[in-house]
Amino acid sequence: MRFIKTAFIFITIAFFIIACGKTEPANTNVASNEIVVTNNNTQPNAVPDEITAARKIYSEHCVRCHKESGEGGRVEIEGKRLNVEDLRTDKMKKMADSKYVKYIENGVLEEGMPAFKDTLSDEQIKSLVKFIRTEIQKN
């Protein structure tokens, strides 16, 4: 009987070690919507649904001037000729997110960019900045 108890304890410990020693596949912290784990490296990133929603906002409000690729350039909007910033340049990649938020909220009237603070929520604007960083600038 003593042998069976000892064997049972060793088997239980072995299962515990095996179960605890397994590594789980990369996973997303869906509850916080902040971290996406890829190849066992954590990267701050937007969740796919957030990117999809931001892509729609970009298509509705930004593509007309900045184009699908973010390249901007010369465009004519409502009879005004604009030279729109290329969102892919080093200058734009180095710009702080807070500055993007400010520009999107308040616009850049002298350059022809309208304000979106009355059109988009704070969360939509933040998602739009994440979209520009991850999809347009590939950061």
Tens-binned pLDDT, residue by residue, of the chain (139 aa): 776 767 557 566 655 566 666 555 544 444 444 444 444 443 455 567 889 999 999 999 999 999 999 999 999 988 999 999 999 999 999 999 999 999 999 999 888 999 999 999 999 999 999 999 999 999 7
Two tokens, residue 20: 């605890």
- As a whole number of Å, the end-to-end CA separation of the chain is 64
Q: For the chain, give every domain's residue range.
A: 1-45, 46-139
pTM: 0.64
Q: Cβ neighbours of residue 113 under 8 Å, at least 6 residues apart?
A: 65, 84, 103, 107
Task: Express each pLDDT in 66-101 by its tens digit.
Answer: 999 999 999 998 899 999 999 999 999 999 999 999
Two tokens, residue 72: 């901007």
CATH 1.10.760.10 fits 46-139, yes or no: yes
Which residues, listed in sequence order, are joined to residue 81 by a DSSP beta bridge?
Answer: 76
- Contact, 34 vs 43, CB < 8 A? no
